[in-house]
Amino acid sequence: MTNVLKFWLDIGVDGFRVDAINHLFEDPSFADNPPNREIYDPMDYSHFDTIYSKDLPKSYQQVYDWRKYLDSYAEEHGTDTKVLLTEAYTNITNTMKWQMSEDGTQKGAHFSFNFNLIMELKTLPDELNAADVKATIDEWLEHLPDGVPPNWVLGNHDRPRVASRFGVDLVDNMNILVQTLPGVAVTYYGEEIGMEDFRGISWEDTQDPQACGSNETVYQLYTRDPVRTPMQWDDTQNAGFSTNPSPWLPVHPDYVQNNLAQQKVAETSTYKLFLDLVKLRIDHALEYGDFKSEALSNGVYAYSRNMEGHESLVVALNFASTEATVDLTPVLLENSHSEGLVELATTKSIHKRDDVVNLRTLTLQQYDGVILRVNSSAATIFISSFALLLVVLKTLLY
């Protein structure tokens, strides 16, 4: 397998994503996994306790060996880091082991996909709860081995899309969340324009083996095709994805109203917000700042990203269908100013860029979200001192 890595590395690839890594090795005796409940369902993989076919020690060791090889290859050839990403549906303890051995002596993947935001949060028809969001994020950070960056995955090819899980109105908030938390942001195609699942795919058009192995009556319970429909580029044939009359999967019918081309020319859109979020990620507070969070009400989750000598960024997201007024003091630095400047906001927000808001009485309408730029006394002193230094230098030079 190392020879396969070397083949692609010699061609010039930057790294590898390894899918379903926890199924890499099985017990050499091919022992049967024992059932974990009495009622047998042949269509339910989770019916079995997969102690002989999943998360085996040999699989972890293989990842540690790959990481060692990739690091040595990059050093030997003088290249940038060769990245290793792994994907595994498993518990949080096992997931952390894909990134670092339990004794801390062997590095694994640069990161293993964090599916907590996909698997742990309430979905429609239930309403997101700020305390649950905080607990889900804190759990990952608390388990993370030293030196391994956090990562946040909103969606993938296995689970319903953000707009279908949480509702169209929360797409902007969820994009803000993932792009401003500490670490790596992972975005599944289409989430940047708020694509939805297409549950109208017929049995005849179904391609997912997981569904095709069932039957016409129950296939909708197993199919993942609705989250894999073609990217909606524009309002032309097949949403601009293909000129073939019949692409691999049918296009979601809403592509005429919801597509990238339309969102590019709109005054405000989920896509334009997404672009602004990506650009904001180079801000010192997001790139290097610490993280402080609180559930300020049933629906409002807030956090700050702070770096000494720089302005802080404060994020407040209302996941509820009701308006809320909150005091952001619990997530502010002690010497923060009482006002903040709106840096970005959701497309339907009552707040606009450069608005000045009171940090003690911030009102958020239903599903509203904002990113605020906040000065602290230390940052103000630093900026003022730097400005004074420039004036002095200019006087001396000219």
DSSP characters for 143-188? Answer: HPPTTPPPEEE---TTS--HHHHT-GGGHHHHHHHHHHSSSEEE--
Question: Alpha-carbon torsion 232, 233, 238, 242, what sign?
Answer: negative
Residue type, 278: V
Strand partners, 325: 363
Task: Report helix, strand and coil shares of the chain as percent, to nearest 5.
Answer: 35, 15, 50
Q: Rounded to the nearest 5 degrees, what angle is found at the Cα of 47, between the Cα atoms of 140 and 198?
A: 70
Q: In angstroms, rounded to a whole number, what is the distance separating the alpha carbons of residues 164 and 150?
A: 25
Give me the catalytic one of 10, 14, 19, 32.
19
DSSP characters for 57-108? Answer: HHHHHHHHHHHHHHHHHHHHHT-SPPEEEE---S-HHHHHHTTB-TTS-SB-
Contact 309, 349 (CB under 8 A): no
Residues near 282 by beta carbon (within 8 Å), at least 6 away in sequence:
none
Q: In angstroms, rounded to a whole number, what is the distance separating the alpha carbons of residues 162 and 17?
A: 22
Catalytic site includes residue 234? no
Contact 233, 213 (CB under 8 A): no
Q: Rounded to the nearest 5 degrees, what angle is found at the Cα of 212, between the Cα atoms of 211 and 218?
A: 50
Q: In angstroms, rounded to a whole number, what is the distance separating the alpha carbons of residues 69 and 217?
A: 48
Contact 98, 86 (CB under 8 A): yes
Q: In angstroms, rounded to a whole number, what is the distance separating the alpha carbons of residues 49 and 236?
A: 48
Catalytic site includes residue 142? no
Give catalytic residues, as residue numbers. 19, 87
